[in-house]
Amino acid sequence: MKFSLSWLKDHLDTTASVDEIAAKLNAIGLEVEGVENPADKLKGFRVARVLTAERHPNADKLQVLTVDAGDGQPLQVVCGAPNARAGLVGVLGLPGAVVPANGMVLKVAAVRSVESNGMMCSTRELELGEDHDGIIELPEDAPIGQAFADYHGADPVFDVAITPNRPDCMGVYGIARDLAAAGLGTLKPIVAPQIAGTFASPVDIRTEDTEGCPAFYGRTILGVTNGASPDWLQARLKSAGQRPISALVDITNYVMLTYGRPAHAYDRAKLTGAVVARRAKDGEGVTALNGKHYLLDHTMTVIADEAGVHDIAGIMGGEHSGCSDDTRDVLLEIAYFDPVRIAQTGRTLNLTSDARGRFERGIDPQFLDTGLDLLTGLVLEICGGQASEVIRAGTPPSGTRQVHYEPTLAETLGGVAIPSAQQRTILESLGFSVVAVDSQDGEQWSVTAPGWRPDVDGAPDIVEEVIRIHGLDKVESVALPRADGVARPTATPAQKLERRLRRAAAARGNHEAVTWSFLPEADAAVFADSAVWTLANPISEDMKAMRPSLLPGLLAAVRRNLDRGASGLRLFEIGRRYLRAENGASDERLSLAVVLAGEKTARGWATGKPATFDAYDAKAEALALLAEAGAPVDNLQVMGEAGSQFHPGQSATLRLGPKTVLARFGMLHPAVLKQFDIDAPVAVAELFLDAIPGKKGAASFARVHYAPPALQAVTRDFAFLVPADLPAGDLVRMVKGADKANIVAARLFDDFRGQGVPEGSKSLAIEVTLQPGEKSYAEADLKAIADKVTAAAAKLGAVLRG
């Protein structure tokens, strides 16, 4: 919400400075995001008089001026404005000044071989208007040499962030009311002209949707002259960031920004028959003022006549019935619309506007007559014409709400003891009415919230109003009570797991990424095994689907980094993925994903070409992080393909049995990389942390101290001939489980296929580590263990090589 200081002072009688007003706004909960002083943009510009004007010797459309800038030494300036002439008083930009319209820094320069010491400026160049046909012409008595900012007048502009629960401050008057209540001046009353009307309105209005539009008021004004609005009105709108359009449109915008009361003006000549607030029909359409066409349905309220829809009620008017410079008769419409209906319609159409922002938060339903009188008075004053009588269709809700309140709550809930009389004064200055209630339990009040405060729902809301106006800085900082001794740990097992995995992944050289939980639907569909969750009210179309995997967000991050010159990337993320449960409910799962893209090692004299990541790198990340998560990695089986998103033959899953999938890893399919616009090989690993089984029999968290064995370990190598399609991991796991009392580790160190190995077979060599207990192994002991190993391997069709 933007507004100028002079606009605020139209409604608040105050002598406070800009800094004092900004500080008080922050103190009462209306955060000031910035204060802009237009005078800062006009530094270096002066009121100056043209002494002489002669034709440029080298250009027909340029003149060489001598200009008095008040320093006693005339300056030579080259100017192309057609109205430049001797005796004209205008605005001179001196060397060093910055032109507000384009940011150009003025300097002494030669223009067609003639030196120019600045620039005579137009209103558009100083962002004071749209006129660019000539330079500014000031009155003859304007003080030569005075800074133009001082002559023109500086009107600082406040930019205030209004929270959704404060619709009353969506207008300048509401902000003035809060400042007056906080002691920063006196609120000026609203003075609306009493216009009875001299004839019956030739346009009938009514409401047929009393749920969506309980009240619909209007009046006709004949014989108006539309055109540019006066300078004061344009200045108000510009300070709010609005572009002046025409007097009739500017008036409705001014009333909305001043009092938070949206309204609309229709060109009567474009209306046919009665104007009605009704439900839209399925399939009806309207082209709005933004030039876009919208298809409507029966859940939406519209303003229509016999010819069709003219207005998406409470959100945006139609292009067809808008006012133009040729408009001579207008219908002023002011109505109360249901906030929920407005919000639903806006979300369905993905259409936002200033009117919607106010209606869906809630406006004062009792401001209809006053708002219409204010509109009428401004139209008659600026555009002329004759006003009809007011037509009222429907009845607005009261908008008021009574709340039972005890003054002692300010201390018990707010932490500040405030005298009852002071609380009453604060509430009444904000527009609340306070009536004492007879009670045997201490002082109690019945407080009635005004119609412009729909956010006030109970006693705690009253406490908030009292405390913020009294001063939030007066609430004493009190520490929460704490039991003696060492605080108990509060982290949950899931939180501890996340922290541990985050450290482990980073320690392995990966960089953590935090990506959005929302994705474009197309990206989400690539990694979804079922229908994805979509949002009814997304931030944008590119953030409409809930992610079914962490990989799409990480791949988008990979693309951005590769596009910016990164040669290799190691990214990981821990977060939730969102799936559809069998009953249709949302199902959140904790996951960890690692993405390895591009170059693994740079090119060098020893390696030659740069090495890229492969599926084995992804598998190593998956196994290491699963081990850190407490998964029984020694029991995992490498099974099957990881999914259609992965490269066939270069991907797999890690499972505990055929059904429990703990992770998947491998190279992404080229088609997936193409969809994400990535032209480098990408290996990924995705861990499903929710599938890791919990540890059994853990009685306590007592630390178990490590004690090295007394005897040295023994290693033995075994070479087996096995079928070529047998996974090496299956053989290693079988060998390790052959004698759990003695075998502590087993690892594959050779995979050979060639001369001496039968066709359809391969030779796998495994190193087995044996750990003796109380005594060293005898030959008989080693032979017995070897026999167990060969017997276990034989179950998989493995034969010990000779």
Between CA 450 and CA 466 the distance in angstroms is 15
Between CA 749 and CA 28 the distance in angstroms is 72
18 burial class (0-12, 13-18, 19+ CB within 10 angstroms)? middle
Please, are residues 419 and 257 in contact by the beta-carbon 8 Å criterion? no
Q: Is 441 known as a binding-site position?
A: no
For residue 86, the surrounding DSSP H or E stretch is none
| Residue 72: other Cβ atoms inside 10 A | 7
Q: Is 767 known as a binding-site position?
A: no
What burial letters (b/e) apply to 600-629, b meaning 16+ CB within 10 Å?
beeeeeeeeeeebbebebbbebbbbbbebb
Between CA 189 and CA 171 the distance in angstroms is 15
Between CA 63 and CA 78 the distance in angstroms is 6
Please, are residues 336 and 215 in contact by the beta-carbon 8 Å criterion? yes
Between CA 438 and CA 444 the distance in angstroms is 7
Between CA 35 and CA 19 the distance in angstroms is 9
Residue 719, token pair as written in the block: 């070479």
Alpha helical stretches, state H, 599-658: 615-628
Q: Is 498 known as a binding-site position?
A: no
Q: Is 455 known as a binding-site position?
A: yes
Between CA 421 and CA 23 the distance in angstroms is 26
Between CA 550 and CA 532 the distance in angstroms is 14
**Strand ranges in 636-742 using DSSP code E only, listed in sequence order:** 637-639, 646-656, 660-668, 682-688, 714-723
Measure CA of the first residue to CA of the last residue in the chain; give whole Å: 87
* Cβ neighbours of residue 712 closer than 8 Å, sequence gap 6 or more: 772
Q: Tell the residue number behind the tokens 């500014």, with chain if given.
A: 136
| Residue 568: other Cβ atoms inside 10 A | 18
Instruction: Indicate the annotated binding residues.
Output: 455, 461, 464-465
Instruction: Indicate the annotated binding residues for Mg(2+).
Output: 455, 461, 464-465
